[in-house]
Amino acid sequence: MLADGGAIVNVTSNSIFQNGLATGFSAYASMKGGLTVLTSYVAKEFSHRRIRVNSVAPGATRTRIGDDAYDKHPEAIQQIVETTALGRLGQANDVGAMIAAVLSDDFRWVTAQHIEASGGARLSVAS
């Protein structure tokens, strides 16, 4: 149903990267990792139709994930902020803007890529 020359963006997670391993996330990260692999295969399979397929891997983003975990456990936010190069928790519109950009014609020559949108999660932040 997608027109030739279209674009697909799958939303994965930066939990799939080696520097994102955390106890308690194995099922979630495995599912997102599977979606990352699917992105590569579908990009190959749809290439004859000029359909671009990419994935965006958000970092910690203020959403209602985990039954509003960020509202219930605000102390977790500080730890995330301290290890994120841009010094804040992501917002839904940060991820939405990235997805819109990847879907735009500006990314017309990009396919089968996995793009992290995390504000520099888990980078060493200089004091």
Q: Among all residues, which ones are annotated catalytic?
A: 28
Check if the beta carbon of residue 102 is closer than 8 Å to that of residue 115: yes
Compute CA 16 distance to the chain's CA centroid, rounded to the nearest angstrom.
9
Check if the beta carbon of residue 111 is closer than 8 Å to that of residue 52: yes
Long-range contacts, 104-110 (Cβ 8 Å, 24+): 107/7, 107/52, 107/54, 108/52, 110/52, 110/54
